[in-house]
């Protein structure tokens, strides 16, 4: 109970009042913007019609369908049409277009940053990644993949629902900064077949075949498979390795990337069966973890598979019952070349193999029912069985062979109480029982106020936790790079947020968000100065404050303009210093213009990110990128193609490196191109 007491003390109440004052100020600012904006032809629409256009419907925030404006969270939605208009190639590129989101790339994996937080060495374990509501963070590293290693082909995405803020009250572990739910397309959206092909810079080629036959009423089938191969950059120069012994710092043909993916979904009546498989192999050009630089053997291979069964039955009298069973498997293998010779001796090369494999089965049940006219209850339970979690490391000798399994269970309840026509209160709590860390209880509260039909104010408060994963607690490689720390404890996140959203009569939508969060027992990768080995440790707390502003304007003829910006400060309370890889300011502008009777569409995206601190205390430099896509859709001939240019002006920019890199900063790609064609039949 002491953990929850902070939600009722005077300090939290004072912070809530401050948020409310700022939101009121934002109302006045937005009103002035409204007066200064000219009225378009959309002004002839009724207010109800405008709300229907602007308000998205989401299911992820509360595990049932509701308007985003009424969800007890700050919500964003990315649609498949956004992927087409702006040429997104990966999940990470799409997420990076949102307010408060950014990504980093170390030329092996892509890492997601949310609200100024992305710790070097963290494998995306602080955001819960779902596919059609099923957890796909892997059992060993709890990774949520967002690059070419993602489980699905991005052409299968119907939309992505993004829930900001702690969501452990509904989802438990990993819902630390938010939840990302990738919702796949239906066979009825395709009604036939699709063949897609792509070609791009660095000899990148991709093909996809999707089949969706016509089905009887109540049935739906979609099957898809795809393949991608890329040579990557043929020459990458790293000055840290600039010596004759290491090829003068040039990594040649070490940046290759290739994946294969398959997906099947079949729905009949109340039942839905779904299966997905993805496999990727990536070369490592950076010489990370002290490996031999420019070795043709340094690579990682990742495999993921999802198999699920869902039963959903809706009843006006008995409510909605959902029962879901899923199995998720992952396997990672790293192949690293090391020189095991003693100092002064001739080189003695040997490969070190690093393996992590796991399988998790989850059974969850949920009942949703409206009671007593003003209450909507959601009650659910979840049983999670990590059947196995294996980690091994070996080269000339066996260095690690760790095998574990464990059970977890949870019970959650949420009540949405309609106090009056303009005010509702959402309160939820979840109790997780982990056999390694005991009991974890996480609440969430949301007050949603509609001062008018076109505006909403949300006051949000929530708590989340993240338990250390098996890699952070038990991994070691015999003294090569890393050692164990079995005493790691879960980290927690307390967040307070205020959101104001407004739909104006001229097609303009705006939102302002102010937030504050505090992380305790932060898990970070550090290096022991005694033996120079890396290990994970619970550090002191981190406190952050930030704000996000978003504007979206739509015209009747299909033109669209979006702008968002964010400010955030994240400080380690122990040292008082800013966190590494944490930008203070970000801004994004997206413009979409249809032309020639909507046969063509031009999409322009510009992104700015301020400089970030590196682990060595340097700065990565600010980033200003521009991407451009022109897409053509010939409906009579069932043909669509798109030409995209990324980093249009060829800007040189860097992402901060992590502890495993000698490089303090890692250079990113310059100007690149992609051409894509799709045929529907």
Which tens digit of pLDDT belongs to each residue from 449-493? 999 989 999 999 999 999 999 999 999 988 888 999 999 999 999
pLDDT band at 12 (very low <50, low <70, confident <90, very high): very low
484 close to 469: Cβ distance less than 8 angstroms: no
- 92, burial (CB in 10 Å: exposed 0-12, middle 13-18, buried 19+): buried
The distance from CA 641 to its chain's CA centroid, rounded to whole angstroms, is 27
Q: What is the DSSP letter of 71?
A: S
Please indicate whether residue 189 or residue 264 has the higher confidence score (pLDDT). Answer: 264
Q: What is the per-residue pLDDT for 25?
A: 37
Please provide the size of the chain in residues. 681
What per-residue string of b and e applies to 59-70 under the rule 16 or more CB within 10 Å gives b?
A: ebbbbbebebbb
Question: At 23, is the secondary structure helix, strand, or coil?
Answer: helix
Q: What are phi and psi of 571, to 5 degrees?
A: -125, 140
CA angle 338, 339, 344 (to 5 degrees): 160
Domain boundaries, the chain: 5-680
Which tens digit of pLDDT belongs to each residue from 406-420? 999 999 999 999 999
Q: What is the DSSP letter of 287?
A: -
Percent of the chain with pLDDT over 70: 92
- Which helix (H) or strand (E) covers residue 14, if one does? helix 10-36
Q: What are phi and psi of 403, to 5 degrees?
A: -130, 125
CA angle 128, 523, 387 (to 5 degrees): 55
Rounded to an integer, what distance in angstroms lies between the CA atom of residue 367 and that of residue 597?
47
Name beta bridge partners: 310: 272, 324
- Which helix (H) or strand (E) covers residue 352, if one does? strand 349-371
If phi > 0 it is left, if psi is from -120 to 50 it is alpha, else beta; for residue 294 that is left
The distance from CA 171 to its chain's CA centroid, rounded to whole angstroms, is 15
CA angle 247, 649, 661 (to 5 degrees): 35
Q: Find, among 674, 499, 680, 679, the residue nearest to 83 by Cα.
A: 674
Q: Find, among 151, 139, 167, 144, the residue nearest to 95 by Cα.
A: 144
Q: What is the per-residue pLDDT for 316?
A: 86
Dihedral sign, CA of 87, 91, 93, 95?
A: positive
Name beta bridge partners: 211: 193, 223
| 634: its two tokens | 């010939």
Mean pLDDT across the stretch 27-55?
A: 39
Q: What is the per-residue pLDDT for 634?
A: 84
Rounded to an integer, what distance in angstroms lies between the CA atom of residue 562 and that of residue 551?
6
Which tens digit of pLDDT belongs to each residue from 314-351? 998 899 999 999 999 999 999 999 999 888 889 899 99
Sorted by sequence, the CB contacts under 8 Å of residue 193 that are 6+ apart come out as 209, 210, 211, 212, 680, 681
**Alpha helix positions (H), 125-198:** 168-171
Q: What is the residue-averaged pLDDT of the chain? A: 90
602 close to 642: Cβ distance less than 8 angstroms: no
Check whether 35 has a pLDDT greater than 50: no
Which tens digit of pLDDT belongs to each residue from 611-670? 999 999 999 999 999 999 999 988 778 999 999 999 999 999 999 999 999 999 999 999
Q: What is the DSSP letter of 83?
A: H
Which tens digit of pLDDT belongs to each residue from 128-142? 999 999 999 999 999
Rounded to an integer, what distance in angstroms lies between the CA atom of residue 58 and that of residue 36?
32
Which tens digit of pLDDT belongs to each residue from 444-455? 999 999 999 899
| 244: its two tokens | 């004759």
- 185, burial (CB in 10 Å: exposed 0-12, middle 13-18, buried 19+): buried
Sorted by sequence, the CB contacts under 8 Å of residue 64 that are 6+ apart come out as 320, 368, 376, 378
Please indicate whether residue 247 or residue 50 has the higher confidence score (pLDDT). Answer: 247
Rounded to an integer, what distance in angstroms lies between the CA atom of residue 322 and that of residue 326?
13
- Which helix (H) or strand (E) covers residue 470, if one does? helix 470-474
667 close to 652: Cβ distance less than 8 angstroms: yes
267 close to 225: Cβ distance less than 8 angstroms: no
The alpha carbons of the chain give a radius of gyration, in whole angstroms, of 25
Q: Find, among 661, 653, 654, 630, the residue nearest to 643 by Cα.
A: 630
Sorted by sequence, the CB contacts under 8 Å of residue 339 that are 6+ apart come out as 292, 347, 348, 349
Sorted by sequence, the CB contacts under 8 Å of residue 197 that are 6+ apart come out as 205, 206, 207, 208, 676, 677, 678
DSSP letter for each residue of 478-509: TTSSB---TT---EEEEEEEEEEEEE-TTSEE
CATH superfamily of 5-680: TonB-dependent receptor, beta-barrel domain (2.40.170.20)
- For 29-33, 283-287, 348-352, which range has the lowest pLDDT when averaged over its residues? 29-33
| 265: its two tokens | 């979904």
421 close to 452: Cβ distance less than 8 angstroms: no
Q: What is the DSSP letter of 38?
A: P
543 close to 496: Cβ distance less than 8 angstroms: no
Rounded to an integer, what distance in angstroms lies between the CA atom of residue 578 and that of residue 575?
9
């Amino acid at each position: 109970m002491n953990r929850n007491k902070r939600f009722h003390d005077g300090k939290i109440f004072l912070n809530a009042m401050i948020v409310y004052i700022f939101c009121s100020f934002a109302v006045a600012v937005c009103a002035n913007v409204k007066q200064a904006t000219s009225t378009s032809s959309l002004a002839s629409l009724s207010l109800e019609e405008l709300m229907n256009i602007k308000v998205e419907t989401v299911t992820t925030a509360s595990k049932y369908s509701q308007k985003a404006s009424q969800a007890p969270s700050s919500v964003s939605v990315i649609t498949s049409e956004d992927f087409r208009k702006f040429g997104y190639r990966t999940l990470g590129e799409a997420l990076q277009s949102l307010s408060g989101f950014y990504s980093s790339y170390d030329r092996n994996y892509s890492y997601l940053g949310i609200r100024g937080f992305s710790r070097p060495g963290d494998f995306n374990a602080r955001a819960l990644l779902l596919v059609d509501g099923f957890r796909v963070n892997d059992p060993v590293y709890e990774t949520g993949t967002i690059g070419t290693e993602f489980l699905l082909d991005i052409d299968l995405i119907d939309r992505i629902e993004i829930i900001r803020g702690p969501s452990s009250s509904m989802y438990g572990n990993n819902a630390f900064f938010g939840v990302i739910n990738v919702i796949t397309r239906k066979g009825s959206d395709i009604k036939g077949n699709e063949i897609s092909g792509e070609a791009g810079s660095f000899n990148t080629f991709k093909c996809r075949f999707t089949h969706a036959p016509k089905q009887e009423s109540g049935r739906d089938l979609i099957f898809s498979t795809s393949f991608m191969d890329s040579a990557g950059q043929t020459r990458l120069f790293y000055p840290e390795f600039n010596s004759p012994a290491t090829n003068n710092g040039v990594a040649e043909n070490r940046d290759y990337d290739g994946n294969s993916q398959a997906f099947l979904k079949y729905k009949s009546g109340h039942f839905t069966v779904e299966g997905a498989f993805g496999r990727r192999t990536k070369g490592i050009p950076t010489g990370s973890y002290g490996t031999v630089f420019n070795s043709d053997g340094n690579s990682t291979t990742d495999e993921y598979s999802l198999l699920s069964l869902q039963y959903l039955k809706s009843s006006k009298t008995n409510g909605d019952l959902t029962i879901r069973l899923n199995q998720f498997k992952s396997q990672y293998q790293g192949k690293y070349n090391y020189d095991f010779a003693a100092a002064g001796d001739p080189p003695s090369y040997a490969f070190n193999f690093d393996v992590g494999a796991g399988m998790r089965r989850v059974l969850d049940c949920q009942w949703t029912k409206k009671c007593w006219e003003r209450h909507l209850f959601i009650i659910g339970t979840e049983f999670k069985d990590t059947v196995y979690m294996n980690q091994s490391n070996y080269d000339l000798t066996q260095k690690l062979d760790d095998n574990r399994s464990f059970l977890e269970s949870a019970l959650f309840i949420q009540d949405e109480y309609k106090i009056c026509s303009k005010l509702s209160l959402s309160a939820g709590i979840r109790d997780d029982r982990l056999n390694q860390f005991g009991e974890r209880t996480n609440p969430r509260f949301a007050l949603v106020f509609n001062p008018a039909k076109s505006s909403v104010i949300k006051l949000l408060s929530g708590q989340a936790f993240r338990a250390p994963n098996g890699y952070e607690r038990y991994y070691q490689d015999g003294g090569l790079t890393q050692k164990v720390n079995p005493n790691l404890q879960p980290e927690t996140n307390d967040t307070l947020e205020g959101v104001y959203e407004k739909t104006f009569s001229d097609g303009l939508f705006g939102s302002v968000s102010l937030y504050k969060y505090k992380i305790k027992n932060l898990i970070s990768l550090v290096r022991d100065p005694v033996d120079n080995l890396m290990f994970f440790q619970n550090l002191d707390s981190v406190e952050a404050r930030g704000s996000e502003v978003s504007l979206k304007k739509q015209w009747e003829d299909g033109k669209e303009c979006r702008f968002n910006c964010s400010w955030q400060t994240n400080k380690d309370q122990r040292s008082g210093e800013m966190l590494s890889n944490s930008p203070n300011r970000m801004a994004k502008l997206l413009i979409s213009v249809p032309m020639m009777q909507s046969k063509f569409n031009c999409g322009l995206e510009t992104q700015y990110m301020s400089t970030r601190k590196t682990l060595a205390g340097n700065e990565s430099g600010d980033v200003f990128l521009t991407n451009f896509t022109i897409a053509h859709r010939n409906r009579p001939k069932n043909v669509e193609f798109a030409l995209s240019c990324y980093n249009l002006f060829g800007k040189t920019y860097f992402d901060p490196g992590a502890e495993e890199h000698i490089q303090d900063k890692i250079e990113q790609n310059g100007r690149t191109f992609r051409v894509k064609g799709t045929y529907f039949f």
